[in-house]
Structure 1
Amino acid sequence: MTDRYCIYSNGTKHFYFSAQDMVSCGGSHGDGCNGGVSLMAWIYWVDNGIVSGGDYNSSEGCRPYEVAPCGHHTTGKLPPCGEIVETPKCLNSCRTDSIDYYADKRRGRNCFIILNNEEEIKAELFEYGPLEVTFEVYEDFVNYKGGVYKYTTGSKVGRHAVKLLGWGVENDLKYWLVANSWNSDWGDKGYFKILRGENHCGIENGAMGGTPIIQ
């Protein structure tokens, strides 16, 4: 949403949507820190709007992120992740009185889903920016370090939502370029490549995006 707001404004507007506001106030659209249904988050953005907010300890925007980062499935500069934390309460107010919560909200005009269509996904990425995708995570994925990921071994551990950025070819393997949410110690500085064009691990089942209302 943040990327698309900038892209649709031709780079003239920089509004950082608050992940905290979405997680805390999504209500029936999600399950807080336990996850939720990805498309419902986009619907929430269209119906209710989301305020601004930066990263943890950033003091940026209306509602910066409140939960400290941790090291997902890796050893690095961040402490290891523990149990899922309690979802912070939904507050219809900003960290500072200088920002009005309701006036700060930005909404989407619409949202959509692209079902298993590689070329349409590529066209949307090229023209309008990143998309959200989900895929089945297997045990071998958590140990990814680089190259084009292709499921090899291990049982399924769940489904995961990530940001699809682009595509390419490496060693004759077509791939999608994806940003993960497990921080920069994991994978290829927080990114990974996954096999493209075969709906590998269901990653092309439904690419989600939307059109922001620029204000």
Structure 2
Amino acid sequence: MTGYLAFGILGLCALVATVPSRSFPPNADPLSDEFIDYINSLQTTWKAGRNFQKDVKYSYLKGLMGVHPGSASVKLPVKPHEEINAEIPEEFDSRKEWPDCPTIGEIRDQASCGSCWAFGAVEAMSDRICIHSKGQLNVRLSSQDLLTCCSSCGFGCNGGFPGAAWNYWVNKGIVSGGSYGSKQGCKSYSFRPCEHHVNGTRPPCDEPSDTPDCVKKCQKNYNVNYDQDLHFGKKAYSVSGNERAIQTEIMTNGPVEGAFSVYSDFVQYKEGVYQHVAGSMLGGHAIRILGWGVENGTPYWLVANSWNTDWGDNGYFKILRGRDECGIESEISAGLPK
């Protein structure tokens, strides 16, 4: 996907004082071993490693960044947290807090499509449906349905608006559906998992794909029709950039969808608490925030990505908390199930 700009609400990444001030070698390829070695030479709060093959096209990486610059214009009402929880623990992990909700611990794969905006939304919605049913209702909402049928959400595989996705859940509803080939639910994801990364068994990834047509029909052998399978939200809202407000929202209602500005160093993340140290802007990316903690004295958000389990720390990453790192605290979308 081309034409990315740093959208206003996702400001420049803030570096903590411990990061040395060094210039990135001007001729180094962001997918090169030299770039990885440079990041690790800074000895900051995280370590880099090879996630993508050296010959992956830069256009492919940019195509994974599916938060469209226009998303800033889609504003959800800010939920007031008048009584911010005074007993916020040092660590919180939604997977442990709600063990009867298996979707919380799942990592999905957006494949060759800039659909992160849809994935971050349906993942958090699915989690919240289970949480608010006290573990009685486990449903995987369909990223395919949201991606292809929400005309107000943006441009499908070419980027979308997280806030609009949550409004769509309330106003139109979303059917169930699992990953590619799973035959789970009404509409499974149509993009085959591909090998974004190294040493994998999946087929190679292609350039970003076109968005499929919206088909309001369930897949064969699913015994519920489309309209009957729709799941609705009761309300959609955003959460202010206040750290404690975000923590209170997650503790109370479950994981949220967040969006942040991605730089080329992020794609090399392997472990530790990420903060931007080098490289150019790739675009905006949507993810799901599960909790928080502190690692070696550095506060972090615990985040699930949608680039399959081969990327990063088994599909997860940690990012600096409390400094609005790369805008991670500036665009939080959420809602409640009906």
TM-score normalized by structure 2?
A: 0.61
Query: What SS class does the counterpart of residue 270 from structure 2 fall into?
Result: coil
Which structure 1 residue ranges, 5 or more long, are not aligned? none
Contact between 1:71 and 1:186, CA under 8 Å: does it hold in 2? no
The corresponding residue for 1:70 is 194
Residue identity in the other structure for 2:126: T
Q: Which has the higher contact order (CA 8 A, sep 6+)?
A: 2
Distance 2:285 2:299 in 1: 21
1:6 maps onto 2:130 in alignment: yes
Distance 1:188 1:90 in 2: 34
Give 2:158's match in structure 1, choosing from 26, 30, 34. Answer: 34
Residue identity in the other structure for 1:43: N
The corresponding residue for 2:319 is 194
Contact between 1:130 and 1:163, CA under 8 Å: does it hold in 2? yes
Offset from partner CA, 1:56-93 (integer Å, 9 cap, x none): 10001110111111233555233332211121111111
Contact between 1:139 and 1:153, CA under 8 Å: does it hold in 2? yes
The corresponding residue for 2:217 is 93
Offset from partner CA, 1:3-46 (integer Å, 9 cap, x none): 00000000001111000000010112221111201100001111
1:134 maps onto 2:259 in alignment: yes
Distance 2:197 2:267 in 1: 6
Distance 2:181 2:217 in 1: 18
Residues 129-138 or 96-105, more deviating: 96-105
Residues 92-101 or 181-190, more deviating: 92-101
Residue identity in the other structure for 2:203: P
Cα distance, 1:139–1:196 mapped onto 2, change above 3 Å: same
The corresponding residue for 2:328 is 203
Query: What SS class does the counterpart of residue 21 from structure 1 fall into?
Result: helix
The corresponding residue for 2:228 is 103
1:173 maps onto 2:298 in alignment: yes
Contact between 2:275 and 2:325, CA under 8 Å: does it hold in 1? yes
Contact between 2:260 and 2:331, CA under 8 Å: does it hold in 1? no
Distance 1:193 1:80 in 2: 27
Residues 196-205 or 31-40, more deviating: 31-40
Query: What SS class does the counterpart of residue 84 from structure 1 fall into?
Result: coil
Contact between 1:24 and 1:90, CA under 8 Å: does it hold in 2? yes
> Which protein has the larger Cα radius of gyration, Structure 1 or Structure 2?
2
Query: What SS class does the counterpart of residue 145 from structure 1 fall into?
Result: strand
The 4+ residue runs of structure 1 with deviation greater than 6 A are none
Distance 1:76 1:170 in 2: 29
Residue identity in the other structure for 2:155: D
Distance 2:204 2:282 in 1: 18
The corresponding residue for 1:212 is 337
Distance 1:75 1:118 in 2: 38
Distance 1:191 1:29 in 2: 26
1:156 maps onto 2:281 in alignment: yes
TM-score normalized by structure 1?
A: 0.96
Residues 22-31 or 141-150, more deviating: 22-31
Distance 1:127 1:105 in 2: 25
Distance 2:256 2:275 in 1: 21
Cα distance, 1:74–1:200 mapped onto 2, change above 3 Å: farther
Residues 186-195 or 32-41, more deviating: 32-41
Taking only the aligned residue pairs, the percentage that are identical comes to 50
Distance 1:76 1:189 in 2: 13
Query: What SS class does the counterpart of residue 290 from structure 2 fall into?
Result: strand
The corresponding residue for 1:58 is 182
Contact between 2:197 and 2:310, CA under 8 Å: does it hold in 1? no
Contact between 1:55 and 1:65, CA under 8 Å: does it hold in 2? yes
More strand by percentage:
1
